Amino acid sequence: MEGFKADLHTHTTCSDGSMTPRELLLAAKAKGLQGLSITDHDTIDAYCDLFPFAEEVGVQLLPGVELSTMHKGVPVHILGYAFSPSNQLLSEFCQQHKERRKERNQLILDKLKAHHNLEISEEELLWEGKSGGTIGRPHIAKAMLAQGFISSFPEAFNRYIGEGKCCYDPGHPITIEETIACIHDAGGIAVIAHPHLIQPSAIIHELLEMPFDGIEVYYARFTEVQVKRWAKMAERKGLLMTGGSDYHGTIKENPLGCSFAPVATFSYLYERFTKNQAATTR
Ligand code: AMP
Ligand code: ZN
Ligand code: FE
Ligand code: FE
């Protein structure tokens, strides 16, 4: 297992990444990764028919998802791992997110129309011309850019649709409690994603009292000091330490594989997935 690298935080065209799941697997192989988890926002669509291809490519594929929640008005992303992708409850949960997002996107679009007379159609929200995946603020930002309303992707967030900006709307969020319960029901483990982004930090202490199983200790280009801080917290609370790049392709700078999980974490998760899979197909 020496040199074994598994990136456990990546996005595809099923949410707001720029590579298809198959392209991402090939890119992972080319980068020298032996393990990969695709953690699209609020969807597990990437896993449909993907396992035979992963085997062909020679990359161990671990089921994952990044679920959006809110705690006291603060957005909290939760990574779920090792569930069986054919779990009915989780599929229904993702469907619930799809409907939640549809309503929320409309609220944001209504504000853009009301405040800035900007009209964006449903077709303009398609990602890479593809329908069916999770649609969110990055899709709205891309449409704004395509219309020439803004001159860069970050400008959409910094001026219009970022938290607290004039056209932001949180929609009707799903709670942390019900999200962790769903992941657990599906046999998976629930991990606090990119903890440094959770502000104010008092919220982190409240999260640590909830039934999470892990924390993302290794993230994108964390410094040694940052890794130490989160590793210490994980140790104190007996949490699993996960890691990944949060690779999105063109919308974020994080390179694929720039961060990865410890080998022991990957082995534990993969074994858990295999057991869940066997139990579902029995
Ligand atoms: P949503 O899930 O619809 O609320 O959109 C959140 C996603 O938008 C995040 O996961 C990021 O990929 C992206 N995002 C959030 N803030 C920014 C930003 N300031 N610049 C670029 N992308 C961002
Ligand atoms: Zn994203
Ligand atoms: Fe996230
Ligand atoms: Fe992410």
pLDDT at res. 214: 98
> Ligand 1 atom 21: the closest Cα is on which residue?
154
Q: Is 136 in the pocket of ligand 1 (CB under 6 A)?
A: yes
1 has pLDDT over 80: no
What integer best gives the mean pLDDT of the chain? 95
Cβ neighbours of residue 72 closer than 8 Å, sequence gap 6 or more: 203, 206
pLDDT confidence band for 2 (50 / 70 / 90) = low
Determine which residue's CA is closest to atom 19 belonging to ligand 1.
157
The pLDDT of 50-65, averaged and rounded, is 98
Nearest to 171, CA basis, from 100, 255, 90, 261:
100
Q: What is the pLDDT of residues 15-27, one digit of tens each?
A: 999 999 999 999 9
- Ligand 1 binding pocket includes 80 (Cβ within 6 Å): no
Cα–Cα dist 173/280, whole Å: 29
- Predicted confidence (pLDDT) per residue in 141-151, tens digit: 999 999 999 99
Instruction: Phi first, then psi: give them for residue 230, nearest 5 degrees.
Output: -75, -30
pTM: 0.96
259 half-sphere exposure, CB direction, 13 A CA radius: 24
